[in-house]
Structure 1
C-alpha cells in the first residue's frame, strides 16, 4: 500500500475506535488506573536519574551534521532500557522498539539529537540550584532524557500498550539540517509505511500542541559580475546593485496574514575591497507558511524578482566587460502540513493536558512533525514538561525543579498511552 493511502487508512482506523468517541473519558480511565499512578511515582522516584541523563547527553557535543557521538551514546541508553531492534539508520537516526500486545503499525515518539551550536562550543553543564545552564540543554537534550524516563515508568508499572512504540532520536532537525533525519525516516526508512501516529517531543510547555507544520523555502542567492576598480571602472554593472534591487522589490510584497506568509533577507556578504566593484555578492533568504499553495506562490514570485533585478541592472549600466548573472541555490525546503484538531492524536493529547491540570494551547511551528504531516501521517509536537529559557543561545537553561518536572512529563506519557492504547 502506498504510504499516503496507508496513513489515511490508519487515521480512519483510529477514528473508528470506540475510545475515540470520548477521548476525555478514555484519558480519564488511563490516568485513574493504578498502573499509571505507579508510572508517575516512578517518574518521581527516578527523577535524579533523568536529570543525570540530561547532563550526560548535554555534555556530548551534537553540532549540526555531527550528531554521531551523541547518537552512539543514546543507542547504548536505549539498549540498556530493554528496547528491541535498537539501531542507527543510514541517516543517523537512533531508534528502538517497545513491543505492544498486537501486531500492526507503530506509534513513534521522538526527540532530536542535534543542537544549533557549532563544533567547539563549550557544552559543560553548570548547575545553580534547580537550574541547569548549557547550550542545548533544553532544545532538545532534555526531551531525549524524558523519553528514557517514560520507558522506565512504563516498565516499572508493567504497562503493555496495544501498539508497538518506536522511540527515536532524530538527526538534522535544526537549521541547515532541514529535517534530514525525519525526512529520511518517512522517505526511505523501514518504518515509513508502518507509522500510524508520530509525536515529536520538542520544547518544554506541557500544555502546547503544535498541530500545524510551517513549511519553509530557503535559498542562497549569488549575484556575479565582472568586477573592477571603483573609480576606474565606474559605470559598469554592479552585482550589489542588482542584489539591492532584488531585496527592495521583495519587500514590496504584501503577503497574506491568514494564512500567515513571511519572508526574510537574512544573511549577506561578498566583495573584496572598499575600492572595488564586487564580482560576487550573496544573500540568504527564508520564506515560510503553513499553506503549501501560498508558499509556492511566494516562491515563484521570489525567483522572478531575482531574475528581474538582474535584467534591470544589465539594462541600467554598461555591460562592456560583462553582465551580471544570478544563481539561486536551495539551502532548505521544509514541507508544510497540518494535523486537524479532530484527529485522535490531537484529541487524546488535549484530553491528557486537561486531565493533568493544564490548558491546551494550539500553535504552528516548524519541527520534526512537519515531515509526517506532509505525507498524511497524524503528527504533533508536544513539550516534555518543565521550564526554561534562552533557547539557541549560549546561556540556554532549564529548571529541573522536581514537582513541576514530574507533572509536566506525566502529560506526554498519558497522551502516548492513549494513542498507543492500553487495556
Structure 2
C-alpha cells in the first residue's frame, strides 16, 4: 500500500482542526514510530546521512550562491535559471522552467504515485537591494539568506544525499523551486503547479521547505485576504479649498476603525494597514490616496468575519467624511481591490505526512511543535492534499529584514536535514 494511503493515527483531532486551533504537540503513534525506525536502521539511510554530513560545506556554499542571485518579487528568472542548472547537474529528469516560472525536476522512483518537495525562489526584497552575504563565525547575514535561499539549498542537499546513497523510492519525487510565494505573488507558482501545470492532479503529498527551528512543523495554512484600497475626492488647494472633503481623512478613519476590531487570539486572527501612498503636494488636498491592507486567520470563518467588517468600515469611513465636510465639488469614493487571496486550512494530525515527521523528530529526541503559517502548503491543503512545511535551517532570525541571518553550525543542521529526509522517504516509500 502506498505510504500516503496508510492511516497510522485516527482521532477526533482532525475534526477540531477545521474549527479551532491546532494543538501545540502530540506524541507520534506506534505505527509511525515503527516506520521511521525501519528507515533509520537501513544501510542506505545511513549512507544518506553520511553524505549530508560530508556535504555540509557544499550546503553553505549553495546558500551563498543562491542568496547572491537577486530574486525580487515577480523577477525570479535569473535565480530560476541558475536553479534549473543545479537540478540538471544532479541528474533530475524532465528539468524545466514552466509557464509560471517554477523550476521543476523529477527524481523517478518506482512510479507508485508522485510526491512534491519544494522551496520558493522569490524574496520580499525589491530590485536593487544589496544581497552580498556576510559571514561572521557560524552565521550568514544577507537579505533573503534564510527565506528561502536556505530552503532551496536544503532541497539540493536532500537530492545529493539520495543520489550518493543510491536510494530508490516507490513514488516519484518532483522537486520544485516555486515563484510568487511572497507578498503580492499570492502563491502564483504553486497555484499553477496544482491547477494548470502538467503535474496537475498527480500529487499525493506535498512538502514545502520554508520554516526554521529544530522543533517546528507547520501543518496549518493561515489564510489571508489582501486589499489595495483607493479613496478618491475632488482635491483642491489646501488653503483656498479648505473645507472640502479629504480622502486622506476617510482613509485615516478607516485605519483607526480597523484597529478597533477585536480579533480572536484563538484561532489566531490578525490584520494590518501596511503600505500607503498618494497625494501630489504638501499644499494640496489630495485627489487620491491608497493603502494596502492584510488580514489573516488560521480558519476560513474568522477570516471571512474580519474581511466583512473591514469592507463595511471602508464604506462607513467614506460616508462619515462626506457628512463632515463639503461635497460641493464632489464626494469621497472608495474602491477596494482584492490583490491577495490565500486559502485557510490544516492538514489533520492523522495524516501520514504529519505522523512521519512527528516520529522523525521524536527519533532525535525532539518534541515537535505544530504551527500555522502562510506558505506554499496553503494551496495543496485547500485541495485536500496532505501538506506540511518543514524547517530549512536549525536557527535564524530577522526574516524579511535586511539584517536577516541563519546559523550554519554543523551538528544541528545535519540533524535537522536527517529529520526532513527521513520524513520525505517514509512518505515516498523507501
Q: TM-score range by the shorter chain?
A: over 0.9
2:405 is equivalent to residue 413 of structure 1: no
> How far apart are the structure 1 equivalents of 2:238 and 2:61?
60
Counterpart of 2:59 in structure 1 is 50
Residues 385, 407 of structure 1: 8 Å contact kept: no
Structure 1 residue runs of 4 or more that deviate by more than 4 Å after TM superposition: none
Change (3 A) 1:111 1:279: same
Q: Find 1:34's aligned residue among 36, 43, 52.
A: 43
2:356 is equivalent to residue 348 of structure 1: yes
Change (3 A) 1:133 1:286: same
Change (3 A) 1:124 1:245: closer
> How far apart are the structure 2 equivalents of 1:46 and 1:12?
30
Is the deviation greater in 230-239 or in 61-70?
230-239
> How far apart are the structure 2 equivalents of 1:416 and 1:255?
36
Residues 196, 377 of structure 1: 8 Å contact kept: yes
> How far apart are the structure 2 equivalents of 1:387 and 1:220?
34
Structure 1 position 260, deviation (Å)? 2.0
Count of aligned residue pairs for this structure pair: 412
Change (3 A) 1:393 1:341: same
> How far apart are the structure 1 equivalents of 2:409 and 2:265?
39
Residues 215, 289 of structure 1: 8 Å contact kept: yes
Structure 2 residue matching 1:391: 3-state secondary structure: coil
Q: Find 1:73's aligned residue among 58, 62, 82.
A: 82
The CA deviation string for residues 218-271 of structure 1, in whole angstroms up to 9 with x for no partner, is 111111111112232222211122212222222232233322222122222322
1:74-93 equivalences under 5 Å are 74-93=83-102
Structure 2 residue matching 1:211: 3-state secondary structure: strand
> How far apart are the structure 2 equivalents of 1:275 and 1:158?
71
Residues 101, 189 of structure 2: 8 Å contact kept: yes
Counterpart of 1:213 in structure 2 is 221
Residues 206, 412 of structure 1: 8 Å contact kept: no
2:401 is equivalent to residue 390 of structure 1: no
* Residue segments in structure 1 that go unaligned for 5+ positions in a row: 1-9
TM-score (norm 1): 0.93
Residues 11, 378 of structure 1: 8 Å contact kept: no
* Residue segments in structure 2 that go unaligned for 5+ positions in a row: 10-28
Is the deviation greater in 61-70 or in 308-317?
308-317
The CA deviation string for residues 57-114 of structure 1, in whole angstroms up to 9 with x for no partner, is 111111111111111111111111111111111001001111112x243111101111
Change (3 A) 1:333 1:185: same
